[in-house]
Structure 1
Amino acid sequence: MRRRQFIGGAISVAMLSRARAQPTMPVMGFLHAGSAEENVKRLAAFRKGLASGGMVEGKNVSVEYRWAAGRNQELASLAADLVRRNVALIATPGSTAAAVAAREATSTIPIVFSSGTDPVALGLVDSLNRPGGNATGITSLNAELSAKRLGIFRELVPGVSRYFTLVKPSSALAAPFVADMQRAASPLGIRIEVLNADTEGEIDAALAQLPSAPGAGLVFGPEGFFYIHRARIAELALRHRLPTIFDVRDYVEAGGLASYGSDYFNVMELAGEYAARVLKGARPAELPVQQATKFELVLNRKTAKILGLAIGPTLLATADDVIE
């Protein structure tokens, strides 16, 4: 009997030793202002980048997901929860508001972000070349994109005489975006008028303020809150016969007129690759913020017809996608 006990004890010790010898799988936190349902394709692109860097979810990295589902006010508590769990990394790709919340929650846990707003202005990094802290990631050069977006919009809708932009005033992205827009508009002789909306109901009210006569145009920038309500925004714009240009193609697929911005699937993939590097030991302070290099122009010909617009042959030829 004692021999059996000895053998059983030896087996137990051997199993315990093997378990201790196995490396612990790192846990990555994933924080986003949106919902899982609307980010399936983008999340797939992020996982693709992660895998290309040698990190496969469920195989050698575990992921704790936190989705705010449009309730940005919950991002701070969701970020704090990931910090309490002492995750190895917090990834916030495609959600600048989540990146800001994560940076405010921790100065030690590494953060990998992608941002359409200048990460220096947001306080995420000290500089693009030398991030200096615990965060790094991908930026979409929004100031330069704003100028390009306005130029495309003028060519697409030459009759626009008043340019409006809609911002969420409580968002950390609002002030940097408006500053980018004003800098981009000034050399073009364009004045940007700002409308505010913090709730879905205020989106309706803001668009109702626009002049009913032809001549108004609406330019959007990166804001996760508006992205969630993109179908509603596209519907209201059509109802008011209002031409619009956005930063990502999803709005155009929902019925918006046009979009020009970075290829978000490429940005998500790049963010995944950076996350893999950090999980393997790279220090964010020493990883320069990458700048997106792939951009796309998407046009909605059906919406253009409803608005009575004829898309010129040059724009049609340069568009990466035309939705019929």
Structure 2
Amino acid sequence: MRRRQFIGGAISVAALSRARAQQAMPVIGFLHAGSAEENVKRLAAFRKGLASGGLTEGQNVAIEYRWASGRNEELPALAADLVRRNVALIATPGSTAAAVAARKATTTIPIVFSSGTDPVALGLVDSLNRPGGNATGITSLNAELSAKRLGIFRELAPGLSRYFTLVKPGSALAAPFVADLQRAAGPLGLRVEVLEADTADEIDTAFAQLPPEPGAGLVFGPEGFFYVHRARIAELALRRRLPTIFDVRDYVEAGGLASYGSDYFNVIELAGQYTARVLKGARPAELPVQQATKFELVLNRKTAAALGVTISPTLLATADDVIE
């Protein structure tokens, strides 16, 4: 009887020790505009970055996840919830809208972001070299790559005469992206017309506004709302025989024609590394925003054939991946 009591007491002490150890773990608040299901590979990249900094989820760090699942309007409340829980850090890898919501929610809890739009223009940091506040991270330069993306698009589909872009009105990403796109289009002798969509139904409406005759092309930039609906966007573009180019490969894997932008898995891994550095004592105000150095061109040969687009040997040779 005494032995059983002793064993029971030992188990209780061990359980209490484990509970205390878990409570002592720093907690990362992970905030994202998308959903867990569509970000499995990106989460793996983030955890890989954490691991390179000596942190493993469930062992010496805990993560509280908050997903908006394409409903950006919910991000402020989700960010506020993480602030109330007094997490050690808020990470928003691969979700610029989440980074903006987190920055508005707190000026004290450290934030590590990855952004496809200039973080200075968004108010996330004072400058890239000296962020100055509670946020730092990685900029993927996707918005700044607009000129390169347009040049590739013109080479891929030389018959285009009208260029369109689709943005989410009210999004913090919309205005900087459109401004950058228009600046890039000018020297190329192009004009980009802007369409808007705020709901899934409005995406269909926007596509219906495009000219029915051949010659139109659609350029997409960083926006989590459209990412959630990427399969629908690819389907609509194919149905209307509309060439498209995007900022990340996931759209092309869903059936889009092409993408050119930073290697997102690398960017998110870097965000994981920065998260580990901040949790170990680095100050965001003094940790320079890193710029992506790996970029990729992804083409979908099956979609090209369906659209009647002939991919030049030069583009095929320079593509980092060709989806058959």
Shift of residue 20, structure 1, vs aligned partner? 7.6
Partner of 2:197: 197
| Aligned pairs for 1:178-197 within 5 A | 178-197=178-197
Equivalent-residue separation in structure 2 for 1:18 and 1:222 (angstroms): 42
Shift of the 22–115 alpha-carbon distance from structure 1 to 2, 3 Å rule, reads closer
Q: What is the TM-score normalised by the length of structure 1?
A: 0.93
Q: Which residue in the other structure is 1:95 paired with?
A: 95
The residue type paired with residue 160 of structure 2 is V
Give how far 1:141 is off.
1.4
Q: Does the C-alpha gap of structure 1 residues 132 and 18 become closer, same or farther in structure 2, counting only changes over 3 Å?
A: same
Q: Distance in 1 between matches of 2:204 and 2:21?
A: 59
Measured in 1, the distance between the counterparts of 2:18 and 2:164 equals 64
* 1:165-206 deviation per Cα after TM superposition (whole angstroms, max 9, x unaligned): 000012111001101101111111111100000000000000
Give the conservation status (yes or no) of the 8 Å contact 1:31–1:67: yes
2:60 aligned partner: 60
Letter in 2 for 1:92: T
Instruction: Calculate the TM-score normalised by the size of structure 2.
Output: 0.93
Q: Counterpart amino acid of 2:87?
A: V
Is the CA contact (8 Å cut-off) linking 1:33 and 1:72 kept in structure 2?
yes
Q: Measure, in 2, the Cα distance between the counterparts of 1:292 and 1:312.
A: 27
- Give the conservation status (yes or no) of the 8 Å contact 1:143–1:184: no
**Partner letter of residue 323 of structure 1?**
I
Q: 1:3 corresponds to which residue?
A: none
Please give the alpha-carbon distance, in whole angstroms, between the structure 1 residues aligned to 2:234 and 2:65: 29
Could you tell me how far apart the structure 2 residues matched to 1:16 and 1:79 are? 31
For residue 144 of structure 1, report the CA deviation from its aligned partner.
3.1
Distance 2:22 2:156 in 1: 59
Structure 1 residues 308 and 122, CA gap change in structure 2 (3 angstroms): same
User: Residue 107 of structure 1 aligns to a residue in which SS?
Assistant: coil
Task: Identify unmatched segments of 5+ residues in structure 1.
Answer: 1-11
Superposed structure 1 runs of 4+ greater than 6 Å apart: 15-23
**CA distance, structure 1, for counterparts of residue 290 and residue 225 of structure 2:** 25
Tell me which residue corresponds to 1:210.
210
Aligned to 1:105: 105
Give 1:81's aligned amino acid: D
Alignment partner, residue 303 of structure 2: 303
Partner of 1:133: 133
- Aligned counterparts of 2:253 and 2:109: Cα–Cα separation in 1: 37
Per-residue CA deviations over 1:123-155 (Å, capped at 9, x if unaligned) read 000011110000000001134311110000000
Partner of 2:279: 279
Counterparts of 1:118 and 1:50, CA distance in 2: 24
| 1:21 to partner: Cα distance | 9.6
Aligned pairs (5 A) from 1:1-324 = 24-324=24-324
Q: For each residue in 1:255-295, what CA deviation from the matched residue of structure 2 results, as whole angstroms up to 9, or x when unmatched?
A: 10000010010011000000000000100000100000001
Q: Conserved in 1, the CA contact under 8 Å of 2:117 and 2:144?
A: no
CA 1:70–1:314: 2 relative to 1, 3 Å: same
- 1: distance between equivalents of 2:269 and 2:18? 35
Which residue identity does 2:176 align to in structure 1?
P
The answer to whether the 8 A contact 2:248-2:264 is kept is yes
Q: Is the 8 A contact 1:142 1:180 kept in 2?
A: no
**For the residues of structure 1 that align with 2:211 and 2:23, how far apart are their CA atoms?**
63
2:8 maps to: none
CA contact (8 A) 2:143 2:222 kept: no
Cα distance change of structure 1 residues 22 and 191 upon mapping to structure 2, 3 Å threshold: closer
Alpha-carbon offset, residue 22 of structure 1: 9.7
What is the CA RMSD across the aligned residues, in angstroms?
1.9
Amino acid at match of 2:287: L
> Partner amino acid for 2:257?
L
| Alpha-carbon distance in structure 2 between the residues aligned to 1:235 and 1:113 | 31
Q: Is the 8 A contact 1:137 1:289 kept in 2?
A: yes
Unaligned runs of 5+ in 2: 1-11
What SS does structure 1 have at the residue aligned with 2:24?
A: coil
Structure 1 pair 306/320, CA: closer, same or farther in 2 (3 Å)?
Answer: same
SS in 1 for 2:63: strand
CA distance in 2 between partners of 1:191 and 1:321 (Å)? 29
Count of equivalent residues: 313
Alignment CA distance shift 1:123-1:22 (3 Å): closer
